[in-house]
Chains A and B, each alone.
Chain A
Amino acid sequence: KQEVTQIPAALSVPEGENLVLNCSFTDSAIYNLQWFRQDPGKGLTSLLLIQSSQREQTSGRLNASLDKSSGRSTLYIAASQPGDSATYLCAVLGGGADGLTFGKGTHLIIQP
């Protein structure tokens, strides 16, 4: 059964810092990995999708990497802003499961 772990569970940093969120998964037979953002009481916003054949994807200040063989992904946020405060979820598709398997998320607070 696919399992996804996110570290750290919570993170609080001053505005302007660069930061890294980590995600690991147990079954490397995935189709893709997706990073989402969830604001309190809201649905999920897709940030980045990395196909299993790709190593990284970039969107603005966000960069996500994927090392499928080791079962790891990182989300790099450059020059953090208070508006980046949210819960960040990592999810994988495949690995013996239907639909997405989610981690428990990293609750991020950017201090002004």
Chain B
Amino acid sequence: SAVISQKPSRDICQRGTSLTIQCQVDSQVTMMFWYRQQPGQSLTLIATANQGSEATYESGFVIDKFPISRPNLTFSTLTVSNMSPEDSSIYLCSVEETANTEAFFGQGTRLTVV
């Protein structure tokens, strides 16, 4: 199974600032995803990170707020821009080694916006 390293593990940020979260995988994977878990809620897909092209965003999520990069098959970043307290959540990176196979998750980034 893929081993996923996500950084930072947690952060406290001021409103109006931006935070970039990194996701590094120990092997090449086809699919990379970013999820959000709001307090007391389950996970919601933000976007699919596409290697070499723009990410595919789910309804309710936009590129200006959540820009995503995926320069290669082992690395992706998610930026949370112009943060507000409503962005306080756990953000998780997920990978599938090939499409439609078992999904693995990083340990998540716990973000608090004050």
Q: A residues engaging B (CB < 8 A)?
A: 31-32, 34, 36, 41-46, 49, 89, 91, 93-94, 97-105
> How extensive is the interface on chain B, given as a class?
20 to 34
**A99 contacts B94, CB within 8 Å?**
yes
**A104 contacts B41, CB within 8 Å?**
yes
Name B's interface SS. strand
Chain A hits for B58, CB < 8 A: 98-99
**A42 contacts B1, CB within 8 Å?**
no
Q: Which of B41, B56, B94, B108 contacts A100 (CB 8 A)?
A: B94
**A43 contacts B100, CB within 8 Å?**
no
Q: Within B92-110, which residues are at the interface with A (CB < 8 Å)?
A: 92, 94, 100-108, 110
How many pairs of residues, A versus B, come closer than 8 Å at their CB atoms?
Answer: 59
Q: Which of A93, A103, A105 contacts B103 (CB 8 A)?
A: A93
Stretch at the interface among B13-21, B42-50, B80-88: B42-50
Subset of 17 A-B contacts with CB under 8 Å: A32-B100, A32-B102, A36-B105, A43-B92, A43-B107, A45-B105, A46-B103, A46-B105, A89-B43, A94-B100, A99-B35, A99-B94, A100-B33, A100-B43, A100-B94, A102-B44, A105-B42
Between B43, B45, B58, B106, the greatest number of chain A beta carbons within 10 A of the residue's beta carbon is seen for B43
**A46 contacts B102, CB within 8 Å?**
yes
Bound CA span A94–B105, Å = 18
Chain A hits for B35, CB < 8 A: 99-100
Bound CA span A32–B101, Å = 8
**B107 contacts A93, CB within 8 Å?**
no
**B103 contacts A89, CB within 8 Å?**
no
Q: B residues engaging A (CB < 8 A)?
A: 1, 6, 33, 35, 41-45, 48, 56, 58, 92, 94, 100-108, 110
Bound CA span A42–B109, Å = 9
**B100 contacts A100, CB within 8 Å?**
no
Chain B hits for A43, CB < 8 A: 6, 92, 105-108
**A44 contacts B110, CB within 8 Å?**
no
Bound CA span A97–B1, Å = 24
**B107 contacts A99, CB within 8 Å?**
no
